[in-house]
Structure 1
Amino acid sequence: MAEGDSTPSGQFEWWRKSLAYRTGMGMSDEEKAAFEEEYRVRQSKNRTCATCEQDRSWMLQYSPLVRFMIDQLKRVGDGEVPEIKCLDCNDLKGGGFHPQEGILLCANWLKDKWQLEDVLTHELVHAYDYKVFAVDLNNLKHHACTEIRASMLSGECRVLNEIRKTGLANFSTKFQSCVRRRAVLSVTANPKCKDAAEAEAVVGHVWNSCFNDTRPFERVYR
């Protein structure tokens, strides 16, 4: 049975295993051990997704950054705000945005609600750019620009975060270095991009115009 199978047959199989485990009938020691591990994984997944959903709701109600971006999205285009979902992800990432599917928050990779705030704001900037600038991710310049703006505006590259990670060296350039690094990594992962060298070149080409474009914010707090 696939992990987390929600089909009727999957749910029946999970009920059958649970009954056998509780009664001790019809289950070998190996099957009991496998059931205990599956139960542990299910409980862990439920907790991470539940925590993500709780933190998402808190941010939608109390985070100035998130509330501001939600308000801006309501003012542009069709006024629609993308659905924001919490799921477990296989990739090593905090979240993602898709024009049709909405915003994904990767519950199993988010350490706390403050990281969730950064990731959610980052993805809301992508949603804003898609509406306002008609971003085409097949165009590497478009991709680079929205990644620069999302890392710059979300707060994920704030200087205090970078100091915790890398110390006080090169203090004056930490913010820009973080934004550039994140943009290059994201563009490198684009199937249209040949390699990191091309990603760096594209990010460099659009850097000045995109890094200085703080819309919809008046200024950036670093």
Structure 2
Amino acid sequence: MATPSPPPPPQPSSSSPITQSSSAAQSQSQPPSQPPQPNPAPLPRFVENDPARTGYDPSLKWWMNYFRILTGRVTREGVEHYREDRYKANEARDCARCEQDRAYLFKYSPTIRFLRDKVAALNGTLDETNVVCRRCPARVAEDGRVVRQGGGFSPDHGILICANEMRDRSHLEDTLAHEMVHAWDHLRWKVDWMGGHDLRHAACTEIRASMLSGECRWTRETMTRGNWTLTQQFQNCVRLRAIQSVMARATCRDDVHATKVVNEVWDSCFADKRPFEEIYR
């Protein structure tokens, strides 16, 4: 693959559940002579609910608060607090459903089974021990944005699926496939996940994961996100999601920086469909 090569993370430690074969990580990318200086953005924070400010009162029955939301007596922030409290109340149910869907997908999903086998071919293992379902709390960024996630990949721990954010089994399949592409990239290349030397690595793995997972297919965009664009819809979705993910890296300065990095690697990384032969989802 032409430079920059696909996603590169640090070598897995001996305690990592995602192990690496001796033949992996042969590609070496040269870091820029002057790597971008870290400019860590403030970490997302929890915001305490104030019923007098938000209109959401946890002491009331959930259906009473729901009625207050429907009648416009709860602020947008209050709605988020209500949502988080309902997630806490339903945590056991959500995690149980997530684990059931995870087992189904590992058994019957062609995409998930294919990626699992490709990870295994690189001496990696993905199963119920390191693909875990958990409730993921939302946080509020300094600019007031609500930060949510559907899942995540860690070279040292495996894959996290945010059970409370999964709408259905299809959504879980897209999320799991996205993170499994990251796992494959981690074993296949030396990926700098956080962009300590080169954000192009992070941009490349995010482009590939969004492209190959199915999360940007036309039916998902139209039915779930209400995007009925007929031209360049797929490319625009992949690009946007890659930019958003790169922005979450501490060394990314802003959206302009993230867009520039994604554009730099776009042609080579969007053309790289490995370990698939084509885009099937």
TM-score by length of 1: 0.78
Map of 2:166 onto structure 1 = 110
Deviation at 1:159, TM superposition (A): 1.2
Distance, in Å, in 2 between the alignment partners of 1:71 and 1:87 is 24
Aligned 8 A contact 2:239 2:262 in 1:
yes
CA deviation string 1:60-106 (max 9, x = no partner)? 11111000000000001x33336100000114111000001100000
Map of 1:75 onto structure 2 = 121
Q: Does 1:49 align with 2:95?
A: yes
Map of 2:27 onto structure 1 = none
TM-score by length of 2: 0.62
Q: Does 1:180 align with 2:239?
A: yes
Distance, in Å, in 2 between the alignment partners of 1:103 and 1:167 is 29
Map of 2:22 onto structure 1 = none
Q: Percent identity?
A: 47
Map of 1:94 onto structure 2 = 150
User: 1:52 is matched by which residue type in structure 2?
Assistant: C
Q: Does 1:168 align with 2:228?
A: yes
Q: Does 1:62 align with 2:118?
A: no
SS of residue in 2 equivalent to 1:160: helix
Mapping 1:1-222, distance limit 5 Å: 44-76=90-122, 78-81=123-126, 83-91=130-138, 92-137=148-193, 138=195, 139-164=198-223, 165-169=225-229, 171-221=230-280
Distance, in Å, in 2 between the alignment partners of 1:168 and 1:42 is 34
Distance, in Å, in 2 between the alignment partners of 1:182 and 1:135 is 19
Distance, in Å, in 1 between the alignment partners of 2:216 and 2:87 is 33
Distance, in Å, in 2 between the alignment partners of 1:58 and 1:43 is 25
SS of residue in 2 equivalent to 1:104: strand
User: 1:122 is matched by which residue type in structure 2?
Assistant: H
Aligned 8 A contact 2:222 2:228 in 1:
yes
Distance, in Å, in 1 between the alignment partners of 2:159 and 2:216 is 20
User: 1:216 is matched by which residue type in structure 2?
Assistant: P
Relative CO higher for 1 or 2, CA cutoff 8 Å, sep ≥ 6? 2
Deviation at 1:41, TM superposition (A): 6.7
Deviation at 1:57, TM superposition (A): 0.6
Aligned 8 A contact 2:179 2:209 in 1:
yes
Distance, in Å, in 1 between the alignment partners of 2:276 and 2:204 is 16
Deviation at 1:193, TM superposition (A): 0.3
Number of aligned residue pairs: give it.
186
Distance, in Å, in 1 between the alignment partners of 2:228 and 2:156 is 42
Distance, in Å, in 1 between the alignment partners of 2:227 and 2:94 is 31
CA deviation string 1:89-133 (max 9, x = no partner)? 114111000001100000111111110000000000000001101
Aligned-residue Cα RMSD (Å) equals 2.0
More helix by percentage: 1
CA gap 1:167/1:96 in 2 versus in 1, 3 angstroms: closer
CA deviation string 1:2-60 (max 9, x = no partner)? xxxxxxxxxxxxxxxxxxxxxxxxxxxxxxx97x99xx876511100101111111111
